[in-house]
Chains A and B, each alone.
Chain A
């Protein structure tokens, strides 16, 4: 087996040194009845690269890659162009095959990019501090709710109806154990009156902007109302590129920002791995979940970086930790931070504008199709259409024609009658004029 360097002679010599007659002797504590023969496993034997590559390539070819056809799905995962340099750099051995930087003297590469990543996330979100990532946007949101419950010592989380339903369900899974979770009604294309739900038991209000339908939400009044009642505002961002054009949540009064960073550097990956961004105010620092990288100096006085404030974490605090998280999204942070470094201020702004312009133009054209109306007045690169037919059947019919039209809202909220005819459409810099033409014409033919 090409990955195993020991030869039969090596193994014999090693057993002799150990003083064991055979390998079985090393497994002597395993109950005999639990040791199984090779033949018990109905699985193949060792295979060479060529064989494995052939089999997996054949399997992968049964999927239609997003880049191979006009593609307009968003709803929490967005197709963007990732510069070639990103994937080359993240595959450097020293990044790819290193562990969590617990030995800082020989992990400054990882630590410095985490410090830069934390800075970038704080700048993007308009917050004071950010951590070194969580798993993804949905789990970051759930961690945010738990953190708000700890800070306020109150049980109740109020979730906006515009919060991605998968995020809401993820929050309910964990925060429902430590408190109560209330969902505000779904109001596609409109801001709900979430302020009326805030009371003196409310730990936090969770509002996504742009929301799951693409609508840009004004967070300031919600932040003010929450603060007046002693509650926190958690702002959720699933499309981080939007912050190149939209006022960041930090400037609108958010106390915690939980975001998905997948749009930069990471790619679609069928849903994971992604990268959870998590930022807050400095005063809440010690209640944060996850790893933090901090600046310090070494014994020779040189600037360096270490993991810090680890007394919040599970390996020190065990059952009293702020979270059970250990492994995070290290390499996805790296991809994110390299992509953002390549873009810089100018590139990031241009990317955001290109996305908005592309989506605006497409929304105008689609809204002119008979049987289609635009539900979201304001949006970034994603909007919702109301169709004259159930959206799921339209998506299936267009997929037959080689166009992936978007995400039917009914896939995310099957019990909401109003959602049946709603189609969530995203357009990014990757969509060409030809893609948009094909979509508009095919939809006009169908409706």
Chain B
């Protein structure tokens, strides 16, 4: 029993405060939140707008016949609803977020402030170009940072996320191959690749051919070379790879790919390990997307938005998609149609309406200017150092399949240390939630059994890392000692216990429906 500073006991005695039901159903700061459709009352609104008179004569006989079905709430009710919802979320601001391959680093608030400058945010994509020169300048400046850091001559800015960037890269490669009068339909993808790689290759109309991994977690360079042939368009390689390792034979592989007339697409999801220290252009990369929401700290926002600019080699640069930003010595100009393109450019088409994720560009540029080239290099080094520190501190109690050599910015463990304990990777991860941590990436990459991929990023202090290591060590030792109570059915202390995902998929309920109405028929 502990005492507070008045000397009174603070324990509630015999009652287990975790078990005692409350009258409201809420528990302290944790509130149960109704669906917004279960709140409000007709006629109420949180926005005061005038009641305007109008006629139907210009609506083409298509005026909406019934109500939309939206609830009416005042502003304080709306704010309370979303604030309470927010309190059910874990976040990087609140704790270490060790999701491997996701790079959950600190999101500086200066980025948010700069992105909201009216000259960047309150600008229309089709406003006369002479009126938006400031926004163009920011894009141009970001392009300079990206091409300089990667050692690549060009960058396509319009892709809206990593997977969209992959598609942009592969379509650029397709255009370059067609321009040579060739047809190549096979893409080599390592078995350790992110799921987006094969999915993108399929969307881009290619056949996916899988390259195996070696025992030590690298792409099998010999198998890769054996698969090269006149029908191979490209290889999609993540480097550092998804096992958290740098591919030591990368230049050799790039040379072989080029010699076979194919291109080297690099998945840049793990650029945070090498930015400011290694230039992908020097490794023989022809195209690489950069997840601005990973390496350059634009917020993940619960799943987006991201941005996936694609840097391109000289061989691919002419085929970059529309639009193209150029500077004619006097001012910036956006080329929006293929026949306006200059300098031999042959854009393959358009990835999306307008010209990319400006709101992410301004945030990423702010991050880069804040860090500077020296800070970006230091950040990469700290990310790699922190991952290696975790690997070195845990590999005696958790099993690290490639734990001998150094890793890059993420440390990979498998579930062999849990063998015979009855505890699974999932149980282990869910028990971390009760300890106040977001779990690491689980069951990815697919090339190891029961994978646990930990990426601490450069944003954690040594004290934070030490505490995290202490918790994981203790958990691993307890599991091995047969003390498995904390893993059984974890988490217990989160806003929800484990959720029934099977039931959710078997009979999907994907929207709220008013009770009195029957379920919509097929």
Q: Would you list which residues of chain B between 132 and 154 have a CB under 8 Å from chain A?
A: 132-135, 137-138, 141, 145, 148-149, 151
The answer to whether B113 touches A347, judged by C-beta atoms less than 8 angstroms apart, is no
**A446 at interface by CB-CB < 8 Å:** no
The answer to whether A108 touches B501, judged by C-beta atoms less than 8 angstroms apart, is no
Q: Please give the distance in Å from B179's CB to the nearest CB on chain A.
A: 16
**A360 at interface by CB-CB < 8 Å:** yes
The answer to whether B91 touches A29, judged by C-beta atoms less than 8 angstroms apart, is no
Residues of B within 8 A of A13 (CB): 462
Nearest A residue (CB) for B367: A3
**B500 at interface by CB-CB < 8 Å:** yes
**B225 at interface by CB-CB < 8 Å:** no
CA distance A49 to B161 in the complex (A): 27
Residues of B within 8 A of A122 (CB): 511
The answer to whether A17 touches B90, judged by C-beta atoms less than 8 angstroms apart, is no
Given A116-B512, A169-B349; A271-B125 close (CB under 8 Å)? yes
**B295 at interface by CB-CB < 8 Å:** no
**A86-94, A152-160, A437-445: which one contacts chain B?**
A86-94
Most chain B Cβ neighbours within 10 Å, of A10, A60, A215, A380: A60
**A385 at interface by CB-CB < 8 Å:** no
Count how many chain B residues have C-beta atoms less than 8 Å from C-beta atoms of the other chain.
208
CA distance A348 to B357 in the complex (A): 27
Residues of B within 8 A of A95 (CB): 82, 86, 89, 91, 301-302
* Interface 0/1 of B473-501, CB less than 8 Å to A: 00000000000000001010011111111
* Interface 0/1 of B84-122, CB less than 8 Å to A: 011111111110010100101011101011101111111
**A263 at interface by CB-CB < 8 Å:** no
The answer to whether B349 touches A172, judged by C-beta atoms less than 8 angstroms apart, is yes
**B345 at interface by CB-CB < 8 Å:** no
The answer, among B126, B305, B444, for a CB contact under 8 Å with A329, is: B305
Given A97-B107, A105-B430, A340-B70; A296-B503 close (CB under 8 Å)? yes
CA distance A226 to B193 in the complex (A): 40
Residues of B within 8 A of A186 (CB): none
Residues of B within 8 A of A247 (CB): 62-65
CA distance A187 to B391 in the complex (A): 64
**B1 at interface by CB-CB < 8 Å:** no
Q: Would you list which residues of chain A between 271 and 319 have a CB under 8 Å from chain B?
A: 271-273, 275, 281-283, 285, 291-300, 302, 304-306, 308-311, 313-319
Nearest A residue (CB) for B43: A346
Q: Would you list which residues of chain A between 110 and 142 have a CB under 8 Å from chain B?
A: 110, 112-113, 115-116, 118-120, 122-124, 128-130, 132-133, 135-139
**A96 at interface by CB-CB < 8 Å:** yes
Residues of A within 8 A of B99 (CB): 99
The answer to whether A139 touches B499, judged by C-beta atoms less than 8 angstroms apart, is no
CA distance A118 to B35 in the complex (A): 12
**B510 at interface by CB-CB < 8 Å:** yes
CA distance A79 to B214 in the complex (A): 54
The answer, among A146, A260, A360, A404, for a CB contact under 8 Å with B131, is: A404
Residues of B within 8 A of A269 (CB): 120-121, 123, 357-359
The answer to whether B114 touches A53, judged by C-beta atoms less than 8 angstroms apart, is yes
**A25 at interface by CB-CB < 8 Å:** yes
The answer to whether A218 touches B62, judged by C-beta atoms less than 8 angstroms apart, is yes
The answer to whether A270 touches B82, judged by C-beta atoms less than 8 angstroms apart, is no
CA distance A329 to B164 in the complex (A): 13
Residues of A within 8 A of B131 (CB): 63-64, 399, 404
Residues of A within 8 A of B166 (CB): 324
Given A27-B246, A109-B85; A1-B375 close (CB under 8 Å)? yes
CA distance A218 to B496 in the complex (A): 47
The answer to whether A414 touches B337, judged by C-beta atoms less than 8 angstroms apart, is yes
Residues of A within 8 A of B148 (CB): 41-43
Residues of B within 8 A of A327 (CB): 161-163, 291, 293, 303-306
The answer to whether B73 touches A341, judged by C-beta atoms less than 8 angstroms apart, is yes
Q: Please give the distance in Å from A19's CB to the nearest CB on chain B.
A: 7
Nearest A residue (CB) for B202: A319
The answer to whether A94 touches B112, judged by C-beta atoms less than 8 angstroms apart, is no
Given A170-B352, A296-B503, A354-B49; A33-B162 close (CB under 8 Å)? no
The answer to whether B305 touches A268, judged by C-beta atoms less than 8 angstroms apart, is no
The answer to whether B357 touches A272, judged by C-beta atoms less than 8 angstroms apart, is yes
CA distance A327 to B356 in the complex (A): 15
CA distance A75 to B464 in the complex (A): 50
Q: Please give the distance in Å from B385's CB to the nearest CB on chain A.
A: 6
The answer, among A18, A216, A281, A344, for a CB contact under 8 Å with B72, is: A344
Nearest B residue (CB) for A116: B36
**B260 at interface by CB-CB < 8 Å:** no
CA distance A15 to B406 in the complex (A): 11
The answer to whether A71 touches B124, judged by C-beta atoms less than 8 angstroms apart, is yes
The answer to whether A99 touches B82, judged by C-beta atoms less than 8 angstroms apart, is no
Q: Would you list which residues of chain B between 369 and 406 have a CB under 8 Å from chain A?
A: 369-375, 377-379, 381-382, 384-386, 388-389, 391-393, 405-406
The answer, among A18, A36, A85, A297, for a CB contact under 8 Å with B392, is: A18
CA distance A270 to B158 in the complex (A): 12
The answer to whether B46 touches A44, judged by C-beta atoms less than 8 angstroms apart, is no
**B155 at interface by CB-CB < 8 Å:** no
* Interface 0/1 of A33-67, CB less than 8 Å to B: 11110101111111101001101110111111111
Residues of A within 8 A of B393 (CB): 17
**B8-16, B227-235, B277-285, B414-422: which one contacts chain A?**
B277-285
The answer, among B88, B91, B245, B250, for a CB contact under 8 Å with A93, is: B91
Residues of A within 8 A of B51 (CB): 350, 353
The answer, among A118, A344, A356, A396, for a CB contact under 8 Å with B46, is: A344
**A193-201, A227-235, A331-339: which one contacts chain B?**
A331-339
The answer to whether A34 touches B282, judged by C-beta atoms less than 8 angstroms apart, is yes
Most chain B Cβ neighbours within 10 Å, of A20, A62, A340, A414: A62
Given A97-B299, A326-B163, A345-B68; A115-B54 close (CB under 8 Å)? no
The answer, among A46, A89, A272, A429, for a CB contact under 8 Å with B375, is: A46
The answer to whether B371 touches A139, judged by C-beta atoms less than 8 angstroms apart, is no
CA distance A115 to B322 in the complex (A): 35
CA distance A345 to B344 in the complex (A): 53
**B459 at interface by CB-CB < 8 Å:** yes
Residues of B within 8 A of A174 (CB): 167, 203
Q: Please give the distance in Å from B430's CB to the nearest CB on chain A.
A: 7
**A418 at interface by CB-CB < 8 Å:** no
CA distance A26 to B85 in the complex (A): 42
CA distance A120 to B162 in the complex (A): 27
**A365 at interface by CB-CB < 8 Å:** no
Most chain B Cβ neighbours within 10 Å, of A13, A305, A330: A330
Given A14-B385, A60-B134; A45-B60 close (CB under 8 Å)? no
The answer to whether B384 touches A26, judged by C-beta atoms less than 8 angstroms apart, is yes
**B171 at interface by CB-CB < 8 Å:** yes
The answer to whether A26 touches B124, judged by C-beta atoms less than 8 angstroms apart, is no
Nearest B residue (CB) for A56: B114
The answer to whether A328 touches B69, judged by C-beta atoms less than 8 angstroms apart, is no
Residues of A within 8 A of B518 (CB): none
Q: Would you list which residues of chain A between 233 and 262 have a CB under 8 Å from chain B?
A: 243-248, 251-252, 260
Given A97-B299, A378-B60; A44-B373 close (CB under 8 Å)? yes
**A390 at interface by CB-CB < 8 Å:** no
The answer to whether A5 touches B120, judged by C-beta atoms less than 8 angstroms apart, is no
The answer to whether B54 touches A360, judged by C-beta atoms less than 8 angstroms apart, is yes
CA distance A318 to B278 in the complex (A): 30
Nearest B residue (CB) for A176: B349
**A321 at interface by CB-CB < 8 Å:** yes
Q: Would you list which residues of chain B between 200 and 214 have a CB under 8 Å from chain A?
A: 200-205, 208
The answer, among A34, A57, A299, for a CB contact under 8 Å with B117, is: A57
Most chain A Cβ neighbours within 10 Å, of B198, B274, B444, B522: B198
In addition to A28-B406, A299-B497, A378-B59, 12 A-B residue pairs with Cβ atoms within 8 Å of each other are A52-B370, A73-B124, A83-B47, A98-B91, A99-B303, A138-B353, A268-B125, A269-B121, A272-B352, A305-B499, A309-B505, A321-B199
Q: Closest 5 CB pairs between A and B?
A: A60-B119, A271-B354, A331-B301, A271-B125, A62-B134
Sampled A-B contacts (7; CB under 8 Å): A23-B381, A26-B388, A113-B85, A116-B512, A271-B353, A305-B499, A360-B54
